[in-house]
Chain A
Amino acid sequence: MNAPFFKYGLFNDEVSLIVAVIIGIGFGFFLERAGFGNARKLAAQFYFTDMTVLKVMFTAIVTAMLGVYFLSVIGFVDLSLVYLTPTFLWPQIVGGLLLGFGFVIGGYCPGTSCVSASTGRIDGWVYLIGIFAGVFAFGEMFPLMETFYNSTPMGQQTLSQLTGLPYGLLVFAVVVMALGAFMAAEWGEKVMAGKGRKTQ
């Protein structure tokens, strides 16, 4: 048996939508468990009082990255069949900055605002309405921005392809970087513990 299962035709489009709901349930479940339904806990990341966002995000990235790496090395997962969003460098840099602004102003990102709304947070619902407005504004302005949106295309590109360094070495580097970030986060929280308090 080879993976990705869907790409090998193990099930059809209709079944893939059921899979989507199940995967979504797992996603939402762990987001809520981590405390990401609460804007105060998310925003605390940007005041160094609670580094949960960094810890959860990088642990998730490292877990999935190691999994996909080993499963592809043993030949179980065909990585060329796993969808990679093409890189358009400048629009992604500008979009990333805007997302950062939106994160600290609104307190959520799209995924976490769904969890916030489903656990009763009114600010989560209002944030969702905001996303609709933002996407609509983008859609209406799209003809003006299409050139920028498609600028600096680099294709489907991984860090390994960009730098020429071996995939395994980059995986290892990300793990080391994450461990360093975790240690810094634990230390930072201890320092800030005297000044503020952790969000509950």
Chain B
Amino acid sequence: MTTHAVPQTGAHEHEAIASLRTPRPYMNPYLAGIGLGLVLLASFVIMGRGLGASGAFSTLVSVGVAKAAPEHAAANSFYSENLATDGNPLKDWLLFEVIGVFAGGFLSGVLSGRIKRTTEKGPNISVRGRLFFAFLGGGIMGFGAKLARGCTSGQALTGGALLNVGSWAFMMCVFAGAYALAYLMRREWQ
């Protein structure tokens, strides 16, 4: 008995390539939320801590300042607290977690054809204008996250799930602040 190997036709291949190039629709938000919640739960159960993001930036900035001006960093309790670990301050849990966030986002982007070199903006603003606001917003967010001892990940998600008092106050204020400024910023997005 002989079996004939059927060669794959080109049409099939083209379809596969096309599906890689056309971005797939986003996941159902409730399913994505359950996925995110299970990752957070896994972090609680395995590590005894939640997720984070802004802490990784504190570590990198503190290490950078300590490299450039060691005495200046040592005299400042914000920097020195981020550097105060036995051994290498770069062996920081949140820093490694954020490296994973980059990788996980990239993986999901590849799988759904959403890797694209572009600038996300509304139709009524120039790319330069949008990038200016991206920098400004990032700066305000970075400053605010340090003042609040965490960002959307470390406070809102993690503290939210643990019913942390400060986290719930924080979360309400994030939404309040964003909605308060939304009208002023409408030309960037709409």
Chain A residues within CB distance 8 Å of chain B: 3-7, 13, 16-35, 37-41, 43-47, 52, 55-65, 67-68, 71, 76-77, 81-89, 91-124, 126-140, 142-143, 145-146, 149, 154, 156-162, 167, 170-171, 174, 182, 196, 200
Contact = CB atoms under 8 A, between A and B. Distances in A.
Contacts of A17: 91, 93, 96
Contacts of A161: 165
Interface of B: 23, 25-27, 29-30, 32-51, 53-54, 57-58, 60-62, 65, 76-79, 91, 93-94, 96-109, 112, 114-122, 127, 130-131, 133-182, 185-186, 188-190
Contact of A25 (B25, B58, B78, B103): B103
A85 B167 contact: yes
Contacts of A56: 29-30, 32-33, 36
Contacts, number: 545
22 contacts: A18-B96, A33-B32, A39-B134, A59-B37, A60-B36, A63-B41, A81-B48, A82-B44, A82-B50, A87-B169, A95-B144, A100-B176, A107-B134, A120-B117, A121-B117, A121-B120, A123-B121, A126-B131, A134-B145, A137-B143, A143-B76, A158-B163
Nearest to B42: A23
A99 B35 contact: no
Nearest to A170: B163
Contacts of B114: 32, 37, 119
A41 B176 CA distance: 18
A114 B98 contact: yes
Contact of A96 (B53, B137, B172): B172
B77 A57 contact: no
Contacts of B27: 30, 33-35
Nearest to B105: A115
A111 B152 contact: yes
Contacts of B103: 21, 24-25, 28, 118
